[in-house]
Amino acid sequence: MEVDIAGKLSFRGGVYPPEKKSLTRDSEIQAGPAVEQVAVMLSQHTGAVCRPLVRSGNLVQAGQKIGDSDAFVSAPVHSPITGKVKEIALRSHPVLGRSLAVIIDAYQYSPTRQPRFELPADFDENHYLPERICESIRQAGIVGMGGAGFPTRVKIEPNPQMPKEIMIVNGCECEPYITCDYRLMLERTGQIIAGIKLARRASGCSRVFVGIEDNKPEAIEAISAALSRSPNSDSIRVVPVKTKYPQGGERQLVKAILNRNVPTGGIPPMIGVVVLNVATAAAIAEAVLADLPLTHRVVTVTGEAIAKPGNYNVAIGASVGQLIEFCGGVTKKSAKVILGGPMMGIAIADLETPITKTTNAITVLTKEQIGTAKFARRQTPCIRCGRCLAACPENLSPTKIAHAVKNNLLDVAESYYINACTECGCCSYVCPAKIELTGYIKTGKIFLARQKKMVPQ
């Protein structure tokens, strides 16, 4: 299959931050640290928090389910190691503040590695029933690994109210620094394609597009070449898209590839589209073909302050501190530890924070770098230059929303569609007055949600 590499498809708005992917783009996926202790969060996804299935003192096997929920929108969690449950205790959670986690001490200090997965040569997705695929995905605890962590089963299971026709596989990886999806596309190409086919079969989609930013020509070529060799792949097309942040946002990707807008406040299935991350597709293949639960994921450890940046296959539950130590620690000038990339990632204060299913990167920035960030410099008044409006991929008016929040006018913020914000950070990135627009908007959304909760229905 011939692919035109230059991606012209895109969305309106967006920004062009320095890519910084060269730090880790040539670093093959290596085994992560051998962990003595893990803290597996009981909430690693959108939806109901799991209830622990083990108690302190219990022995657990690697891959054993240790938390689950009866709720529809939820996903179980598993132990990545063989060991003994120490306790169920609170740990720092990147989004929820403090949250319950199952703390497990590795047994005999014999670290368990994730079992190697080999794609069977005679793989044919038609040997698997759609229901069986969905159930395997559910049991393996697979959630969207790109960021939001929406349970994958819920996403791809056929729903008569929202019939799905098109699947978009997201290989954009538009955040600066991060290269874990890129490495997966190069190193586990066959596995990703197998996952795509299984998800296609389970969801009943007739067409599949694999969206990849055109700054990753090797990945575009690798996937295209593998598809041309693979049977039943006529309906799967690789679509190079323009390299622009936030091209990997699912709303932006749907717009770029299909030229359709996901309704505000809605999700892609409402217009018959399923969006899956490439890492999720790879996890689906492991879950369905080898019954391997999601206990490890590839994490890019990067940033100018990291001694040995690279891509590592890490046990979910390992702490950020352990991983940073494993990568040779940090240089003295380091100043900020970010879970994720520099545009949307969350800066953490506690290095005990465990890696979760949605942690795609740890970026450690230096003092000089954060010296140029918004908060470090004096904020000046908004001059209404309109850069934030031009950069907003959702066509909002960030300055209006942010100033409404600042002045505690939540109804005004709502009239400017504050809840349509995807928090991509473009507005803050371009603001010449150094205003933390995204920060204000996030705060406003939280205030609004609280306010709504207080009003009796």
Restricted to residues 310-349, the positions that interact with other proteins (CB under 8 A) are 321, 324, 329-330, 334-338, 340, 342-349
Question: Which residue's CB is nearer to other proteins, number 114 or number 334?
Answer: 334
CB of 304 to other proteins, least distance (A): 11
Check residue 97 for interaction with other proteins (CB under 8 A).
Answer: no
φ/ψ (deg, to 5) at 18? -60, 135
Calpha distance 225→426 (Å, rounded): 34
CB of 270 to other proteins, least distance (A): 10
- DSSP conformational letter for 376: G
CB of 204 to other proteins, least distance (A): 24
Segment 122 to 161, residues that bind other proteins, using CB under 8 A: none
- Would you say 369 and 330 are in contact if contact means Cβ atoms under 8 Å apart? no
Strand order across the beta sheet in which 83-93 lies: 37-41, 97-106, 83-93, 59-60
Can you tell me which of 48, 162, 389, 410 binds other proteins, judged by CB under 8 A? 389
Question: Which residue's CB is nearer to other proteins, number 94 or number 144?
Answer: 94
Q: Which span sits near other proteins by CB under 8 A: 31-39, 276-284, 286-294, 432-440? A: 432-440
Segment 154 to 213, residues that bind other proteins, using CB under 8 A: 176
Contacts of 42 (CB under 8 A, 6+ apart): 49, 50, 51, 52, 67, 77, 99, 100, 101, 102
Q: Which span sits near other proteins by CB under 8 A: 58-66, 114-122, 160-168, 395-403? A: 395-403
Tell me the number of residues near other proteins by CB under 8 A.
Answer: 76
Can you tell me which of 148, 263, 308, 368 binds other proteins, judged by CB under 8 A? 263
Check residue 399 for interaction with other proteins (CB under 8 A).
Answer: yes
List, as one string, the DSSP characters of 312-359. Answer: EEEEBTBBHHHHHHHTT-B-TTEEEEEES-TTT-EEES-TTPBP-TT-
Residue with tokens 């809840």: 419
First to last CA, the chain: 56
Check residue 265 for interaction with other proteins (CB under 8 A).
Answer: yes
Question: Binding string, 354-373, against other proteins, x = CB under 8 A?
Answer: ---------x-x---xx-xx
- Would you say 77 and 66 are in contact if contact means Cβ atoms under 8 Å apart? yes
Q: Which span sits near other proteins by CB under 8 A: 110-118, 185-193, 228-236, 425-433? A: 425-433
List, as one string, the DSSP characters of 218-272. Answer: HHHHHHHHHHHHSTT-TTEEEEEE---BTTTSHHHHHHHHH--PPPTT--GGGGT
Segment 18 to 37, residues that bind other proteins, using CB under 8 A: 18
Check residue 419 for interaction with other proteins (CB under 8 A).
Answer: yes
Question: Which residue's CB is nearer to other proteins, number 20 or number 201?
Answer: 20
Calpha distance 394→100 (Å, rounded): 34
Check residue 380 for interaction with other proteins (CB under 8 A).
Answer: yes
CB of 406 to other proteins, least distance (A): 13
SS3 assignment, position 204: coil
CB of 248 to other proteins, least distance (A): 15
Provide the Cα torsion 112, 186, 151, 299; round to 10°: 50
Question: Which residue's CB is nearer to other proteins, number 208 or number 320?
Answer: 320
Question: Which residue's CB is nearer to other proteins, number 160 or number 265?
Answer: 265
SS3 assignment, position 14: coil
Interhelix angle for 189-203 vs 130-139, to 10°? Answer: 120
Check residue 447 for interaction with other proteins (CB under 8 A).
Answer: no
Question: Which residue's CB is nearer to other proteins, number 309 or number 425?
Answer: 425
Question: Which residue's CB is nearer to other proteins, number 31 or number 148?
Answer: 148
CB of 267 to other proteins, least distance (A): 11
Q: Which span sits near other proteins by CB under 8 A: 32-40, 48-56, 203-211, 418-426? A: 418-426
Check residue 12 for interaction with other proteins (CB under 8 A).
Answer: yes
Which amino acid type is present at position 202? Answer: A
CB of 341 to other proteins, least distance (A): 9
Calpha distance 171→183 (Å, rounded): 11
CA angle 246, 306, 145 (to 5 degrees): 40
